[in-house]
């Protein structure tokens, strides 16, 4: 009974939010323009979150996202020299590189993953800031793609592929097993290092795509590209009900539900005219509420 | 008949909808050792827990030393002279040995709220010495000591004030032979002193050896009490399950039977500090048993053979293909299976469905193209669970909901699903009730006749003698002897080679 309740809370939260904002904003919330705005704002976090789910499922947190995003954009820009398609491919390549590096530091260097992620995050941002300071990085041609349907297409493709990989292949399934019980996973013949690395690589791919989307939206690479991406993704996934320690209960749908809650909350509160400072407080309260209800305390003793 | 110390009449205990104990009456007598036996779920632990003050009965009365007895807690029961030893850790991390011994009773050493540590340690020292624990330092933090030492300290604590009743609930299962012997000594000493002893155990030979009287429970209800010569494992088993076991428990034959072909070869295997120079061949269709004391290195040996521990020297080779088992992934790929001793921590994915547990190692075999379809998973899980007769609601149920015996069935189902050719088993029937044990032995026999090989470690001598074609003994990390299956092989023979 309690388990069912726990599963429904994020979805229920989303539905309630949508209902409340639809009814109280005189139709502003449900206007086509607003919905378009929400979708395009949330796309970056949504895409990055798909990859992060793989990492969280095996009980790790990827804190490199923001720095990886910045670094990938900068490196891709410098090498691609304005060629859109090359830029896209290189974003992904460098995203994967960051993911690989993070996982290597974690696995070979035996550094806790979140610390390894943070190192990459700081390094990546530092490199990006230095590069941006020395020249402007405009990619106006990218803004051609700044429209709703491109974004929806990318979200759809990334989510679908992520969903299939996570639920119907070894790559996804093993993440959940490793998160539930790494010892049993190893003794079942699963190579823990190999699959952890694959998760970080997948996270790197989605970070690369997120970087690309960021440039499309803004038309340039700046020192703040991808700022706080890792925090936004973590909050969004938590709001979506993802278990903190991963494991078998990790669901891809947390990506959608959580990201939507996050951005709808932002959007709705702004439509209400709430002071921007208070918006953060409300978000924090909502987050605390959802997570407290969602944490499965019974699971804790089982794992012990 | 000896004097009755405690009588629990018409005891009932419900946990929600589960009726754990149904109308059981038990009498505990002075200087008598009473055994409580039954399958998992028979109510034996629940019954003794109520006597020990862990929780109150739903219905029923207890009289102790002639007066009404309603303990409010275990500490309360302890103060009135009823001591309770369980299987799990009963000592608390973060406190010293002395603090643990006098937990809840520090008042006798304190003045104005300050505990006199010197006195505490002194008294603790006395208690430890009286119980053969001279090597334990009362001022050291308790985490410093091994599980077994901690259990012995706990035991010393329970005897520090002469108890009237001593309840021992499956305490011996997790101990080495040395620890078990010490408990047997204690039971004999206490019996002499007139203490009433109640012992709960799955090891029926232990019960046979120690008890004057044995009470059998099944599904929460009282079945029978057996005394004297009637106390033997066969009769106990029969009453526990309620039907004839169909004659055989272990293997029916008394000869060593296996094919000449060697399937797995271990040469000069060593892991620094644990074991060294182990060599043996495992033949097709053979059950090769390994026996030794708990810390002799045999458990780690199995993990090393499977590829989970890197050896410092030596090789483990599958003859077919000449493949070296260098990692668990390689082993699984080559149809080698490993069943760990610690079922809950090392072989089961707890907060996960039975289905996911069963298909975990067979995902490659289930693929349709590049993907693993839920339908295929469910089919395999249902088939294998049915083959092992797992008692469950359906395969989507969480593995953690199952009883110990059914959990082990799921573990076996997992490896059978992968068409395993070589099984490496570490104490496969540990903590499992008789009915399921019998099923596992039959399974092992069937596998053997199909040409599947089994390498088995067991701390139960009888199990090794009953099931193995050959038995290798390990002592202090080194191979000592090899025994061939025979009707004349006795426990004493093997014990000689391992202590």
The full set of domains in chain A, from first to last, is 2-296 (1.10.3470)
Same domain, residue pair B32 and B128 = yes
Distance CA B336, CA B351 (A): 25
Same domain, residue pair B163 and B294 = no
Same domain, residue pair B203 and B299 = no
The pLDDT of residue A6: 67
A-chain residues near B360 (CB < 8 A): 177, 188
Of all residues in chain A, the one with the smallest CA distance to B373 is: A168
Indicate whether B249 belongs to any domain.
no
Of all residues in chain A, the one with the smallest CA distance to B332 is: A189
What count of Cα atoms within 13 Å lies in the side-chain half-sphere of residue B11? 29
Distance CA A79, CA A96 (A): 16
The pLDDT of residue A302: 40
Question: Chain A residues within 8 A (CB-CB) of chain B?
Answer: 164, 168-170, 173, 176-177, 180-181, 183-191, 247-249, 296, 299, 302-303
Distance CA B40, CA A80 (A): 68
Q: What is the CATH number of the domain that holds B93?
A: 3.40.50.300
What's the length of chain B? Answer: 499
Q: Let me know how many helices (H) and strands (E) chain A has, helices first.
A: 13, 2
Question: CB distance A184–B346 less than 8 Å?
Answer: yes
How many Å lie between the alpha carbon of A2 and the closest alpha carbon of chain B?
15
Placement of tokens 């395969």 in the chain: B395
The token duo for B157 is 């604590």
Same domain, residue pair B194 and B271 = no
Confirm if B60 and B12 have CB atoms less than 8 A apart.
Answer: yes
The pLDDT of residue A5: 66
Distance CA B433, CA B203 (A): 10
Q: pLDDT tens digits, residue range B308-351?
A: 999 999 999 999 989 999 999 999 999 999 999 988 889 999 98
Query: Which one-letter DSSP state was computed for residue B41?
Result: T
Same domain, residue pair B87 and B8 = yes
Of all residues in chain A, the one with the smallest CA distance to B334 is: A189
Q: What SS3 class is residue B262?
A: strand
Of all residues in chain A, the one with the smallest CA distance to B309 is: A187
Indicate whether B251 belongs to any domain.
no
The pLDDT of residue B437: 87
A-chain residues near B334 (CB < 8 A): none
What count of Cα atoms within 13 Å lies in the side-chain half-sphere of residue B240? 30
Question: CB distance B350–A181 less than 8 Å?
Answer: yes
Indicate whether B295 belongs to any domain.
yes
A-chain residues near B338 (CB < 8 A): 187
Tell me which residue range forms the domain holding B270: 262-498
The pLDDT of residue B246: 55
pLDDT-based confidence at A2, cuts 50/70/90? low
Indicate whether B456 belongs to any domain.
yes
Q: Over chain B, what is the mean pLDDT?
A: 89
The pLDDT of residue B482: 93
Q: How many Cβ pairs within 8 Å bridge chains A and B? A: 78
Same domain, residue pair B44 and B86 = yes
Indicate whether B229 belongs to any domain.
yes
Same domain, residue pair B202 and B276 = no
Q: Let me know how many helices (H) and strands (E) chain B has, helices first.
A: 17, 22
ipTM (interface pTM): 0.86
Query: Is the pLDDT at A217 greater than 90, yes or no?
Result: no
Query: Is the pLDDT at A303 greater than 50, yes or no?
Result: no
Confirm if A226 and A69 have CB atoms less than 8 A apart.
Answer: yes
Q: Give CA A135 to chain center in angstroms.
A: 29
Distance set, CA A41 to CA A38, A147, A216, A232, A301 (Å): 5, 11, 12, 12, 39
Same domain, residue pair B225 and B310 = no
Indicate whether B490 belongs to any domain.
yes
Query: Is the pLDDT at A174 greater than 90, yes or no?
Result: yes
Same domain, residue pair B440 and B352 = yes
Q: Which pairs with CB-CB distance under 8 Å and at least 24 residues apart come from A116-122?
A: A116/A64, A117/A61, A117/A62, A117/A63, A117/A64, A117/A65, A117/A230, A118/A63, A118/A64, A119/A64, A120/A64, A120/A67, A120/A68, A121/A63, A121/A64, A121/A65, A121/A66, A121/A67, A121/A68, A121/A230, A122/A67
Q: Over chain A, what is the mean pLDDT?
A: 87
Confirm if A200 and A62 have CB atoms less than 8 A apart.
Answer: yes
Distance CA B293, CA B154 (A): 22
Identify which of B351, B370, B372 has the shortest CB distance to residue A247: B351
Indicate whether B357 belongs to any domain.
yes
Same domain, residue pair B440 and B493 = yes
Give the DSSP per-residue string, B96-112. BHHHHHTTT-GGGGEET
Task: Label residue A64 exposed, middle or buried (CB < 10 Å: 0-12, 13-18, 19+).
Answer: buried
B-chain residues near A296 (CB < 8 A): 351
Confirm if B356 and A153 have CB atoms less than 8 A apart.
Answer: no
User: In which region does residue B37 sit, left (phi positive, over 0), alpha (psi from -120 to 50) or beta (all else)?
Assistant: beta
| Strands ordered across the beta sheet of B221-227 | B82-85, B165-169, B196-200, B33-37, B213-218, B221-227
The pLDDT of residue A301: 43
Question: CB distance B333–A189 less than 8 Å?
Answer: yes
Distance set, CA B229 to CA A237, B32, B236 (Å): 66, 16, 12
Query: Is the pLDDT at A246 greater than 90, yes or no?
Result: no
Confirm if A98 and A71 have CB atoms less than 8 A apart.
Answer: yes
Which of A173, A188, A300 to mutate against chain B (most B CBs within 10 Å)? Answer: A188
Number of domains, chain B: 2
Q: What is the dihedral of CA A248, A249, A255, A258, to 10 degrees?
A: -160
Q: pLDDT tens digits, residue range A253-297?
A: 999 999 999 999 888 888 888 887 787 788 788 778 777 766 655
Of all residues in chain A, the one with the smallest CA distance to B357 is: A177
Which of B347, B352, B367 to mutate against chain A (most A CBs within 10 Å)? Answer: B352
Same domain, residue pair B184 and B51 = yes
State the maximum Cα–Cα separation within chain A, in Å, rounded to a whole number. 59
Indicate whether B248 belongs to any domain.
no
Question: CB distance A302–B356 less than 8 Å?
Answer: no
């Amino acid at each position: 009974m309690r388990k069912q309740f726990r599963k429904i809370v994020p979805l229920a939260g989303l539905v309630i939010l949508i209902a409340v904002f639809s009814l109280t904003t005189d139709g502003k919330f449900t206007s086509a323009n607003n919905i378009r705005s929400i979708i395009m704002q949330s796309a970056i976090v949504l895409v990055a979150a798909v990859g992060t789910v793989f990492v969280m499922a095996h009980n790790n947190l990827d804190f490199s996202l923001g720095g990886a995003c910045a670094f990938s954009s900068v490196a891709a820009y410098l090498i691609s020299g304005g060629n859109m398609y090359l830029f896209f491919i290189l974003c992904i390549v460098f995203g994967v590189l960051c993911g690989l590096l993070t996982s290597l530091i974690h696995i070979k260097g035996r550094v806790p993953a979140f610390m390894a992620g943070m190192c990459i995050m700081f390094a990546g941002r530092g490199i990006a800031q230095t590069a941006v300071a020395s020249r402007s990085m405009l990619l106006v041609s990218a803004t051609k793609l700044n429209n709703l349907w491109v974004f929806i297409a990318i979200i759809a493709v990334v989510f679908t592929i992520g969903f299939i990989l996570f639920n119907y292949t070894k790559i996804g399934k093993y993440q959940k097993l490793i998160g539930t019980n790494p010892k049993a996973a190893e003794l079942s013949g699963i190579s823990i290092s190999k699959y952890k690395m694959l998760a970080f690589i997948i996270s790197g791919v989605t970070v690369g795509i997120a970087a690309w989307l960021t440039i499309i939206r803004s038309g340039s690479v700046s020192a703040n590209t991808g700022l706080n991406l890792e925090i936004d993704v973590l909050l969004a996934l938590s709001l979506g009900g993802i278990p903190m320690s991963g494991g078998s209960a990790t669901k891809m749908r947390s990506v959608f539900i959580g990201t939507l809650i996050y951005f709808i909350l932002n959007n709705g509160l702004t439509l209400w005219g709430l002071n921007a400072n208070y918006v953060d407080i409300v978000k924090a309260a909502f987050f605390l509420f959802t997570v407290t209800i969602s944490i499965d305390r019974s699971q804790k003793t089982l794992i012990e | 008949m000896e004097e009755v110390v405690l009588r629990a009449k018409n005891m009932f205990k419900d946990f929600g909808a589960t009726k754990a104990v149904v109308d059981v009456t038990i009498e505990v007598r002075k200087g008598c050792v009473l055994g409580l036996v039954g399958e998992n779920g028979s109510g034996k632990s629940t019954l003794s827990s109520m006597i020990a003050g862990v929780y109150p009965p739903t219905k029923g009365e207890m009289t102790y030393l002639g007066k009404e007895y309603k303990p409010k807690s275990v500490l309360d029961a302890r103060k009135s002279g009823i001591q309770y030893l369980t299987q799990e850790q009963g000592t608390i991390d973060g406190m010293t040995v002395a603090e643990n011994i006098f937990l809840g009773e520090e008042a006798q050493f304190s003045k104005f709220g300050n505990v006199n540590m010197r006195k505490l340690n002194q008294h603790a020292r006395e208690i430890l010495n009286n119980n053969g624990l001279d090597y334990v330092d009362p001022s050291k933090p308790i985490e410093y000591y091994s599980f077994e030492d901690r259990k012995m300290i706990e035991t010393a604590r329970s005897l520090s004030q002469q108890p009237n009743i001593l309840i021992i609930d499956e305490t011996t299962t997790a101990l080495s032979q040395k620890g078990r012997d010490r408990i047997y000594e204690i039971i004999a000493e206490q019996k002499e002193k007139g203490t009433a002893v109640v012992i709960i155990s799955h090891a029926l030979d232990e019960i046979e050896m120690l008890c004057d009287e044995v009470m059998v429970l099944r599904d929460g209800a009282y079945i029978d009490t057996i005394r004297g010569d009637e106390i033997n494992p066969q009769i106990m088993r029969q009453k526990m399950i309620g039907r004839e076991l169909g004659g055989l428990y272990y293997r029916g034959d008394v000869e060593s039977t296996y094919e000449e072909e060697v399937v797995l070869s271990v040469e000069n295997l060593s892991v620094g500090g644990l074991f060294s120079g182990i060599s043996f061949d495992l033949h097709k269709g053979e059950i090769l048993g390994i026996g030794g004391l708990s810390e002799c290195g045999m458990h780690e040996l199995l993990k090393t053979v499977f590829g989970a521990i890197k050896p410092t020297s030596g090789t483990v080779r599958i003859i077919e293909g000449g493949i070296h088992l260098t990692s668990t992934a390689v082993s699984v790929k080559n149809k080698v299976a490993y069943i760990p001793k610690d079922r809950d921590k090392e072989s089961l994915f707890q907060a996960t469905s039975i289905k996911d547990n069963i298909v975990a190692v067979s995902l490659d075999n289930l693929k349709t193209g590049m993907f693993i379809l839920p339908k295929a998973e469910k089919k395999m899980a249902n088939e294998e669970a049915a083959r092992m007769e797992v008692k469950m609601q359906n395969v989507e149920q969480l593995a953690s909901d199952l009883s110990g015996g059914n959990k082990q069935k799921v573990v076996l189902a997992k490896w059978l699903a992968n068409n395993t050719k070589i099984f490496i088993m570490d104490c496969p029937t540990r903590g499992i009730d008789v009915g399921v044990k019998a099923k596992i032995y039959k399974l092992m026999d069937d596998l053997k006749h199909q040409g599947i090989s089994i390498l088995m470690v067991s701390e139960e001598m009888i199990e090794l003698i009953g099931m193995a074609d050959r038995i290798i003994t390990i002592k202090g990390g080194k191979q000592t002897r090899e025994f061939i299956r025979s009707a004349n092989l006795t426990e004493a023979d093997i014990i000689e080679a391992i202590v």
